[in-house]
Amino acid sequence: MLFGASDHNQNDSMMQITLAFNHFGQHLRQRLPRARFGFVHIVNNDYQEWTMYAVGGSKHPTFISQGNRFRAQDNPFTKEATKREYTPEWEWKSWNWTSEGDVFENGAFFVTSGMGSTFDLTKNFSRFDVFRAKPGSFVGRLTRYAGALSCKVGEPC
C-alpha cells in the first residue's frame, strides 16, 4: 500500500490514515504500508516475514504503531520492520515514528525517531479521532479472519 501521490505533492501532508486488523503474510516485500507525507496510525496488524521492510516512508510522514505483531524472517538482514526511503539519517531522525505495545518476534525491531516513545496521541488528537489499540498479544485473534474470502459463484460466502 502506497499512500501519497508523489514526492512533490505536499498536499498529501494532510492525509490521516488508520490501518487496522490486517494480516500481511509471508514473503510480502515492502509497503505494508509506505507513506509520503501525512499521518499513519497502524493498529493491531499482523506482519509476518516481510522480505525488505514492513513500514516505510519518505517526505517526513508520521507513523504511530500500536499493538501490532512483527515477526521477522530468519534472514539476519531483514529484521528491521522500518525503512526511511531516499533520506539521510540526520533528516529522518526528526520524523515522528513510534512503537507502543507492539510485539516483536524472531529478532524483529522497529526503529523509532523524532519524539519516539514520548509522542502522545491524546495531546495531538481528541479521543474521538484516535482508534484505541488492543495489546499486540491480541493480534492473532483480531486478524484471524483477515484476508481474501474464498467464495464460489452461486454459493454464499
Q: Which of 29, 31, 69, 84 is labelled catalytic?
A: 31
Per-position DSSP letters for 12-57, written without gaps between them: GGG-EEEEES-EE-TT--S-TTEEESSEEEEES-EEE--SS-SEEE
69 labelled catalytic: no
Classify residue 12: in a domain, yes or no.
yes
Q: What cell numbers appear for 16 in the block?
A: 490521516
User: What pLDDT is attached to residue 85?
Assistant: 86
pTM for the whole structure: 0.88
Domain with residue 26: its CATH number is 2.160.20.10
Classify residue 95: in a domain, yes or no.
yes
Give CA 77 to chain center in angstroms: 19
Classify residue 156: in a domain, yes or no.
no
Classify residue 13: in a domain, yes or no.
yes
Domain boundaries, position 99: 2-142
Classify residue 50: in a domain, yes or no.
yes
Classify residue 105: in a domain, yes or no.
yes
Give the sign of the dihedral formed by CA 149, CA 71, CA 83, CA 55.
positive
Please give the chain's pLDDT, 157 residues, in tens: 888 888 888 888 889 899 999 999 888 888 889 999 899 999 999 999 999 999 999 999 999 999 999 999 999 999 999 999 889 999 999 999 999 999 999 999 999 999 866 677 777 777 777 778 999 999 999 999 887 778 889 988 7
